[in-house]
Each structure stands twice: as structure tokens, then as C-alpha cells.
Structure 1
Amino acid sequence: MECRDAAVSSLSWALLVGGAAFLLHQTRRGHAQYGRYLPAQGRSLPAQSRSLPARLAWFLQEVPAFLLPLLLLIWEPQRRGDGTGRTLLLCTFMLHYFHRSFVYAFLTRGRPVPLPIVLSAATFCSLNGFLQGHHLLHCARFEHTWLGDGRLAAGFLLFVVGMIINIHSDHILRSLRRPGETVYKIPYGGMFEFVSGANFFGEILEWCGYALASWSLPTTAFAFFTVCSIGPRACQHHRDYQQRFEDYPRSRKALLPFIL
């Protein structure tokens, strides 16, 4: 059972509504203008001056989701009896963003990211980092039997599997190019044998597992927003691969193996 908190409720519903709106926008207007979809004129010198190098961009936009929960965890004045469960879940959330901020960000070889996208992502990560941290540390309540709940075990298993898929898929994508290369190639191996957006599929599994383990509105809202925001990206990549390569595997789906 959870305490009633206006900030938690408002931000959770904002994620739900925002996710649905983002999905609708992507469906109607198409892909976001960055990475491989950046228009040719967007790669001119004036436009590049309004962009950040990929490594710096990823670090700045992802790190708030790690630092804000960490600060809340450090400043929490008193542990309640169910503190183990709350801390365990929050550390699960922080583990993903530690990797994205301090490992993935310094390994990526992506194109420069437009500054407005970096600012938008950093704002989202800040608000969501506060939401997840504040909810788990100050609002969530867990029964004493929670650590033996099947939802917790299944959720953590799903999170771990998703994170492994996500990290492995990113490694495959980075390995496709030598330093300095810009040509696109077909990824093979791992979950790429089944879906074009293997990295997106892994991240969606992570947050669905996180939501299942915590069984709350804020975590479910975040999982829903993730599906709505990166699910369409996987479908766009799938169409792009099919257009670029005549020999692209026809059995490969966009996001969900054998389904979508």
C-alpha cells in the first residue's frame, strides 16, 4: 500500500499522458530528427554548433536519473522497517542509469545530438529520477512478506535479462563500425536475430520487470512511457533497415520476436 502524495500522483499521470501523446506524435509526424534521421542540412556547421558530441550528450542527459535518487538515498533521514525492499528497488533503477551515464556514454560512437533533445532528455531524467526516488524512499509501503513475493522474483529476473540484452545489443552495434566509419551495416547476433530493435527490446524488458517487482503506479507509468517513446524508434529503424538493404532478413521483426 502506498501513501498519497500529490507530486508522485501528478508526475505519474504526466508520464502516462505524456507517453500516449508521444506515441501519437510519433505515429503522425514520424521519427525524431537526430542520429541517422538528421536531415542533410542539419549536418552543416551552424547546425552542428547547436549540437553536442554524442558522448557528452548521453552523459548529461542520463546522469540526473542516477544522481537525484542517489542524493535522496543519502539524505533520507530515517529508515523504516521495510527499507531493504525500497532501497533494493531504487538501486535497481540506479544501476541502469549508472551504466548509461558512466559506461555507455563513454563508449558510444553516435552522431552529435541536437541541444534541444539533450535538454528535453535531461529534464525528463531529472523529473523521473526524483519521482522514482521519492516514491520508493518516502511513499512506498511493502508488507513483511514482500521479499518472498513471486512478482518480485519475476520482476528482477525480467530486469536482469533485459539489461543483459540491452548491453549486449549495444556492444553488437558498436562493433559494426571501425573508428571513423559512418556506413550502416546489418547487425547480427543475440536478439538481433529476431528483432531490429534488440537494444530497445532489452530496455523495455528492464522497465517492465522493474514495474512488476515494485507493483506501483509510478513504476508502471515509467514502463508505459518507455514503451511509447522507444517502441516507435525500433519500428522506424526496422523500416530504415529494410529500405537500405535488399538482403535484410525477412523473418526479423521490429520489436517483439515473432509478433511485431
Structure 2
Amino acid sequence: MSLLTKFLFPPSLFVTATALVSFTPLAISGLSEIRGKHLQYSKFFGVGSQTSAESKIKLSSRAAMVTLYTPAFLAGVFSFAIFPDEGLRFVLLRSAITIHFFKRIFESFFVHKYSGEMATDSMVAILLSYFISSALMIFSQHLTVGLPEPTIDLMYPGILLFSIGISGNFYHHCLLSKLRCKGAKEYKIPKGGLFDFVTCPHYLFEVLVFWGFAFISQTLNSFSSALGTTFYLMGRSYATRRWYLSKFEDFPEKVKAMIPFVF
């Protein structure tokens, strides 16, 4: 515990409990993805579902993606009014959260090209995950006001991690969008950037964004959110690689799921 306090603000009972709330569903979801039970969107719509795709309530992918990112974006925006003037670390954390989810909304409108629909239950599950984790990170940071700073300051490395993550995520989303002509819905093997090494480099950089949040914040809650996101996206990337292998005979075996040369 003394080692942890060098990196983290002292966690309260509330922060410890909500950290488990942030971590557990994400980790379980990642395991479910590996086992073939997928959240119903993108290429996995109707795959591994207990109910048929036809029986699900669906939204267009564009509308669903914009909807699921908006509450987390608004949590970041309104936090500036609710918790004003609480120090540089707090400003950087909520700025990073707001910028990240604004980027995702922007991409949903102007970058992504969609092949289908999203089940509303999956949309709600992702919406709640992003909103709750963002709100808890922000509130947990508010609870650190007046506490002594951790001995080891990770704030500036966190800014670097966040910057690399958000830039890499955007770049690889742009590469994905170029795979399809307007109106086309077929899937192709992605190429360029880190796609030559892993199936889901956009997930890798998304993970770096959340570890950027964690390093900037240095609360138990933000670290549990980053760890849970890592487990979920590792599971999702593993399932995505398995899907590509099943659909494309020429998919290169050497391409890993999310971490080059490792996983």
C-alpha cells in the first residue's frame, strides 16, 4: 500500500468501491468478447447474440455512435461549471476527457463510414460505461482537492500518453474510413500504419488515451477505469482478429490482435 501511495492519491471507501464498479463490468465484457458473446455493433452485429438480429431494436450506426459518446462529453463540459478552480491537474483531466469524447463525436459525424446498425441495448451499455467512468473520474478528482500530492508525479507523462493516444487513434480511424467508397458496406483487410502489425491499432491508442487519463489524474478510480478498458479492448481485438481470420483466407497470421509482436 505504501508503494501505491507514491503513485496515487489516498483512496476513500467511496473511491475504492466505485473503482470496482468501473473495472468489473469492463473486464467481464472483455472476457465475453473472447468467448464469442459480443456487443452488437459493427461486424459483430447479430454474431454471438442470444437473440436474433431481427428481433433487436436497432439504430443507424451513425446515430447510435453520436448518442453513446455525448453524455461523457457533456460530463466533461459541465464539470468546468460544477467544479471551478480546483487546480491544474483537475483542469487537465477534464480537458482531456472533453477533448477525447468531442473527437469521437466529430469522427462519428465526419470520419467513420458505416456498414450497418447498432442494437440499442449495446448502445446503452457502452453509453453508460463511458458516462459513468468519466463522471467517476471527474468526481474522484474533485475529492482529492486539499490532499497531499503523490510522491511520484505522473501528470506530464500522462499528457504525453494522452496526446499519443488521441493522435494515433484518429490517424487509424482515418485509415479505416479510406477502406470504403461512399455507400460501400463490404469489409476489407486494413493496411497502413500499425495495421501491418496488429488488427486493432485504434484500440491500442484508445487504451493509451485512458492510461493518459490515469496518469494525469493519479486516482484509484482512473487507474481501474484504464485497466478495465484495457481488458475490454484486448478481448474485442482478439475477437476481431478471429473474425478476420475466418472471413479472409489471405489474412496474415503474423498480425497480432492489439499489441505488436505480443498479443
Same fold (TM over 0.5): yes
* Structure-2 separation of matches of 1:141 and 1:240: 49
2:12 corresponds in structure 1 to 4
- The aligned counterpart of 1:117 is 122
Partner of 1:99: 103
* Aligned residues of 1:90 and 1:136 also touching (Cα < 8 A): no
SS of residue matched to 1:32 = coil
Q: Does 1:194 align with 2:197?
A: yes
User: 1 CA distance for matches of 2:40 and 2:250?
Assistant: 26
- Quick one: distance in 2 between partners of 1:22 and 1:140? 33
Structure 1: which 5+ runs fail to align?
A: none
| Aligned-residue offset at 1:88 | 1.1
Q: Greater CA deviation, 153-162 or 53-62? A: 153-162
Note if contact 1:238-1:254 (Cα within 8 Å) is conserved in structure 2: yes
Q: Is the 8 A contact 2:93 2:213 kept in 1?
A: yes
Instruction: Check 1:52–1:250 CA distance in 2 against 1; reply closer, same or farther (3 A cut).
Output: same
Aligned length: 250
Supply the RMSD in Å over aligned alpha carbons.
Answer: 2.4
Mapped pair 1:171 → 2:170: no
* Residues 1:16 and 2:23 aligned together: yes
2:163 paired with 1:160: yes
Contact 2:45 2:117 in 1 (8 A): no
Q: Which amino acid aligns with 1:232?
A: G
C-alpha change, 1:191 and 1:259, in structure 2 (3 Å) is: same
Query: Which range moves more in the overlay, 28-37 or 151-160?
Result: 28-37
SS in 2 for 1:259: coil
Tell whether the 8 Å contact from 1:64 to 1:129 is kept in structure 2 after alignment. Answer: no
TM-score w.r.t. structure 1 length?
Answer: 0.86
TM-fit CA distance, 1:159 = 1.4
Q: Deviations over 1:5-58 (max 9, x none)?
A: 62x3322111222233223333334333332122389554x64xx211111111
User: Aligned to 1:227, which of 218, 227, 230?
Assistant: 230
Structure 2 CA distance, aligned partners of 1:237 and 1:212? Answer: 28
> Residues 139-184 of structure 1: CA distance to partner in whole angstroms, max 9, x if unpaired?
35575798xx662222221111111111111111111001111111
CA distance in 2, matches of 1:99, 1:190: 20
Q: 1:249 to 1:68 in 2, by over 3 A?
A: same
Alignment partner of 1:239 is 2:239: no
Matched with 1:184 is 187
| Residue identity (%) | 24
SS of corresponding position for 1:52: strand
Structure 2 CA distance for partners of 1:144 and 1:20, relative to 1, 3 Å? closer
Q: 1: CA distance between counterparts of 2:216 and 2:82? A: 24
Q: Is the 8 A contact 1:235 1:255 kept in 2?
A: yes
Compared CA separation, residues 142 and 17, structure 1 to 2 (3 A): same
Structure 1 counterpart of 2:59: 52
Match of 2:253 among 245, 250, 256: 250
- Which structure has more relative contact order (CA 8 Å, sep 6+)? It is 2
